[in-house]
A and B are shown apart, each in its own frame.
Chain A
Amino acid sequence: MAETTFGNATQVLEPFRGIKKVTLEEYFTSGHRTCQGCESALVMKLMVKAAGPRTIVLGSTGCMYVANTTYYTTPWVVPWMHTQLGSSGSAALGTAAGLKSLMRKGKMKAEPINVIAFCGDGGGADMGLGAISATLTHKEYNSLILLYDNESYANTDIQLSGLTPYGAHTTFSPPGKVHRLIHKRWKKNVAGLMAAGHPECRYVATVCASYAVEMMNKVRRALTIGGPTFIHSLDPCPKGWDYDPMLSHELGELAIETGIFPLYEVEDGVVKYYGKTKAIVDGRPRKPVREYLLKQGRFAHFTEEDLGYFQGKVDEQWEKWEIPGVVPFRKLDAAQAALNVK
C-alpha cells in the first residue's frame, strides 16, 4: 500500500509499459447489450482492467448502466452498484467514506480498495456536476470519478446535453425547415473546470479509448495518487453520432488530431499534454475539423458556414487561450486587442 501525503493508503498500480504488458484479466466481460462499436463499453473494459480486482464500481444511470444490465443481468466481474443519474459524486464519496470508517474502527479488514464512480456527460456535466464538485474537495477520501462522454443523453435515444457539440442532430435538436440549428451552445470544458476549481484535487485528466494504454495508465495514476480524482473520456458513439461502428477507433483519433478534444493531465496543478495533442501544442498543424465532422451523420446538415464557425471556435482554443485546450483564460493584450477591434 502506498502512503500518500494525506495519510490515505492507495494501491500502487504501476503504469503499463506498452501494450504487450497489459494484464490479460477482464473485469468487465462480454455479454452486455451495448451498440456494436460502443466506445463507452470499451472505456469500461479498460477502466477496470487498469484498476484490478480490489475495486468497487458505482455506475450512474445512463448507457453504461442500462445497456450493460438489460435486463437483470451483468457483465461485471468486480462488485458493481447502480446509482442515481446525478449521484456519481455522492456514490464515490459515500462508498469511500463507508469503507474508511469501517477500516478505521477495525470493523473491516484494512486494505486499499479502489472506488470508481462513473457518469455520462448528462449525468456528470449537467445533473451531477454539483455532487462531483463537492467530492473533489474531500481530500481525505480516495476515489476516481470517470465521466464517459458520448456527447448526448444516449440511453434515452439521444438528447442533447451540456457536452453535445454545437449544431449536432439529436432528438431535441432536429434540423428543420425554419431552424437548421437548434443547439447553438458550445461544449462545456469539464476537465478544465474541475482542474481549475478544486485546488486540492490532485489529478484531472482527459483520455480517449483509441489510445488504450495511455488511458489505462491515467486511470492507474488517478487511483494511486490518492484523494479524489477526475477523468473525462471522449467516446465516439455510433448510434448517436450516426456512423459505421467500425469507424469508432478512427473517430477517436480524429477528434484529437483536429484539436477538438485535447489529451492532457493536470497533476498537482501542472499541465502535461499527451500524444498528438502535444504535437499540436508544439506546432504541428491540426487536421481540419470537417474531416471529423463530415464522417458523422449527426453533422450531415452542416453548411460551410457551420463548418467555418466550428473551425473558428476550435482555432480559438489553440491560438488564443493562455493554457491551450485547457482553460479559456487569455493574456491581457489579446483581450485588449479584441476590445479595440470591437
Chain B
Amino acid sequence: MAIATATKTASEDKELLISGSEAVAESLTLADIDVVTAYPIRPYDTVMQAIAKKIANGQLVAEYIVAEGEHSQFEIVKHASTVGARVFCGSSGVGWMYAMECLVVTPPLRVPMVCLVGNRALDDPGAFGVEHNDALVVRDLGWLLCWIDTSQEALDTTLIAYRVAEDRRVFLPLAISADGAFLTHSQAITMVPPKEKVDRFLPRYDRGDLLLHPDNPITVAPQANEDWVIEIRRQNDEAMKRAVGVIEEAYADFRRVFGRGPENPWFEEYMADDAEIILVGMGTISLPIKVAIREMRAKGRKVGLVRLRWFRPFPFERLVKALSGAKAIGVIDRDYSFGSPFHSGVVANEIRASLYNADKRPPLLSFICGLGGREVTLEDVNKAVDMCEAAAKSGKADAKTHWLGVRE
C-alpha cells in the first residue's frame, strides 16, 4: 500500500451541518460504494434515507435495494461483496438480531462488509434509545467493532473502515456503532474532504483469489467437519491479530492525507495524563463526562476520561498503560451482561481481564448507566467519581456493580 503524501489540508474540505448518519452517507459517496441494501428500523435508517437522496440526485451510483427483512438485507450485500462489489449495510437493535445468521458467517467467509449499527435497545421492552448490546452481540465472532461519538468521527471512521476491512491481510466485516438519537439524529459542523484526497487514501476493493467469478473457479464454503473447522478459526484468529497493525497504518496514513485525525486510533484520552480517577466509556457518553470533568478540574479534582474507539480488536496492552497510573478506574457501561462476573457490564469485564496480569492494578469500579436511551447526567457522573475517589483513598473497590440513574 503506497503511502500518500500530505498536501493542503482543511481548506479543500467542504463544511456541512449534518448528523452522524448523513456524515456516513457522505463517506459512502466518496468511497463509491457499489451495492447498498436498506430496511427500515430506527434509528440507523436515517443513513439509508440519506443514501437514497444521494442516489436519486446522481451524486452516488450504486445498486440500492430495499430488502424484505434484515436477514435478506445482510445476505444480499454479503453475496455482492463476494463478486467484488464494495458494499454497505446497517441496522439497529432487533433488526441486527434478525440478520444474525448472516452476521455469524461473514467473518469466516472473509467478507469485508462495512456496517453502521445505530445502537438501540433490544426490544421488547420497546424503546429505540441507545444501548450497546446490539453491536456487542457479535464481539466473539470475528467482527471488527468500533464506537464513534461525533459526526466528524463518523465520516472519518467510515473511510478508515473500508481501508482496514478491505485490506487483504484483514478481510473481516466491520461494524461502526453510533449511539441512537444522540449521534444518528443530531447535526453538527462536519468537514467533508474532496474525492481526490479520498482516492489517495482508499484503494479499490480487490478480492483477489477469493473472488467468485467464472475466471476464478472456486467453491466457497463447502461443508466442513471437525477435521477442518479449528483450522479455519485459527485463520480468523490470525487475521484479527493482523488487523491491529493494519488499523495503526490506516490512521497514520489518514493523518498524512487529510491532515487531521487522532494519533492514537484506539481510544481518546481526555485529561487523562495526570488523572487520579479515570472514567472509561464508549460512544456519546463521552460528552456529559467531558462536561463534568471540566467542572471537576476547575475545582481541583484530577479526573480524566478514556473513550474507547475500538472494541475489537480490543487494545488491551495500550489500555493497561493508560490506566495503570490512576488511583481508581470507573468503567461506565451503556450495556448489560446479566450473570457475568460481578454482574458487570461488558466493557468493565474486558478491562478487568486486561488488567489481570498488570504490575499495577488500580481499584476498578463498574457502573451501568444510560440504558434504553436514558440520558447520562452530570449528577450520574459526579456520583461515579465520588465513589471512585473513595476507592482511591481506601485502595480497594467494592465488587458490586453500581446502577446509576435508576429510580429506587
Chain A residues in the interface with B (C-beta under 8 A): 53-56, 58, 65-66, 68-74, 76-87, 89-91, 93-95, 97-102, 104-105, 107-108, 113, 130-131, 133-134, 138
Flag B213-233 by CB within 8 Å of A: 1 or 0 each. Answer: 110111111111101100000
Scoring B77, B80, B84 by chain A CB atoms within 10 A of each residue's CB, the highest score goes to B80
Could you tell me if B228 and A90 are in contact, using CB atoms closer than 8 angstroms? Answer: no
Find chain A residues with CB under 8 A from B219 CB: 69, 74, 76, 79-81
Which of B63-71, B120-128, B159-167, B265-273 interfaces with chain A? B63-71
B105 in the interface (beta carbon within 8 A)? yes
Could you tell me if A94 and B212 are in contact, using CB atoms closer than 8 angstroms? Answer: no
Closest to B221 in A: A82
Closest to B66 in A: A134
Find chain B residues with CB under 8 A from A56 CB: 83, 212-214
B76 in the interface (beta carbon within 8 A)? yes
Closest to A86 in B: B71
Could you tell me if A97 and B63 are in contact, using CB atoms closer than 8 angstroms? Answer: yes
Could you tell me if A81 and B212 are in contact, using CB atoms closer than 8 angstroms? Answer: yes
CB distance from B288 to the nearest CB of A (A): 41
Could you tell me if A71 and B224 are in contact, using CB atoms closer than 8 angstroms? Answer: yes
Known contacts being A90-B75, A91-B75, is A99 close to B83, with CB within 8 Å?
Answer: yes
Known contacts being A83-B75, A98-B82, is A90 close to B67, with CB within 8 Å?
Answer: yes
Chain B residues in the interface with A (C-beta under 8 A): 32, 34-35, 37, 61-63, 65, 67-69, 71-73, 75-85, 87, 101-102, 105, 204, 212-214, 216-225, 227-228
Closest to A55 in B: B214
Find chain A residues with CB under 8 A from B85 CB: 97-99, 101-102
- CB contact between A94 and one of B32, B71, B75, B204 (< 8 Å): that residue: B75
Known contacts being A71-B223, A71-B225, A102-B85, is A78 close to B214, with CB within 8 Å?
Answer: yes
Find chain A residues with CB under 8 A from B102 CB: 84, 87
Could you tell me if B222 and A95 are in contact, using CB atoms closer than 8 angstroms? Answer: no
Find chain A residues with CB under 8 A from B68 CB: 130-131, 133-134
Find chain A residues with CB under 8 A from B71 CB: 84, 86-87, 90, 131
A144 to B217, CA, bound (A): 20
Q: Can you list 12 A-B contacts (CB < 8 A)?
A: A71-B227, A73-B222, A76-B219, A90-B71, A93-B72, A93-B79, A94-B35, A98-B35, A98-B83, A101-B80, A102-B84, A108-B84
Closest to B211 in A: A79
A100 to B34, CA, bound (A): 9
CB distance from B96 to the nearest CB of A (A): 16
A108 to B86, CA, bound (A): 13
Could you tell me if A84 and B76 are in contact, using CB atoms closer than 8 angstroms? Answer: no
Tally A-B pairs: CB < 8 A.
153
Closest to B102 in A: A84
CB distance from B221 to the nearest CB of A (A): 4
For the complex, would chain A's binding face be called helix, strand, loop or mixed by DSSP majority? mixed
Find chain A residues with CB under 8 A from B224 CB: 71-72
Could you tell me if B84 and A79 are in contact, using CB atoms closer than 8 angstroms? Answer: no
A111 to B143, CA, bound (A): 34
Find chain B residues with CB under 8 A from A65 CB: 223
Find chain A residues with CB under 8 A from B73 CB: 90
A61 to B224, CA, bound (A): 13
Could you tell me if B101 and A94 are in contact, using CB atoms closer than 8 angstroms? Answer: no
Could you tell me if A95 and B212 are in contact, using CB atoms closer than 8 angstroms? Answer: yes
A99 to B214, CA, bound (A): 12
Find chain B residues with CB under 8 A from A130 CB: 68-69, 72
Known contacts being A134-B68, A138-B65, is A98 close to B34, with CB within 8 Å?
Answer: yes
Known contacts being A87-B75, A90-B72, is A101 close to B62, with CB within 8 Å?
Answer: yes
CB distance from A315 to the nearest CB of B (A): 36
Find chain B residues with CB under 8 A from A93 CB: 65, 72, 76, 79
A130 to B39, CA, bound (A): 14
Could you tell me if A79 and B223 are in contact, using CB atoms closer than 8 angstroms? Answer: no
Find chain A residues with CB under 8 A from B63 CB: 97-98, 100-101
- CB contact between A97 and one of B35, B223, B225 (< 8 Å): that residue: B35
Find chain B residues with CB under 8 A from A104 CB: 61
Find chain B residues with CB under 8 A from A91 CB: 75-76, 79
A113 to B82, CA, bound (A): 15
Find chain B residues with CB under 8 A from A98 CB: 34-35, 63, 79-85, 87
A58 to B80, CA, bound (A): 12
Could you tell me if B214 and A69 are in contact, using CB atoms closer than 8 angstroms? Answer: no
Find chain A residues with CB under 8 A from B228 CB: 71-72
A99 to B76, CA, bound (A): 12
A75 to B224, CA, bound (A): 15
Find chain A residues with CB under 8 A from B225 CB: 70-72
Could you tell me if B214 and A87 are in contact, using CB atoms closer than 8 angstroms? Answer: no
Could you tell me if A54 and B214 are in contact, using CB atoms closer than 8 angstroms? Answer: yes
Could you tell me if A131 and B214 are in contact, using CB atoms closer than 8 angstroms? Answer: no
For the complex with contacts A66-B223, A101-B80, A105-B34, 4 further pairs of A-B residues with Cβ separation under 8 Å are A56-B212, A78-B217, A97-B80, A99-B85
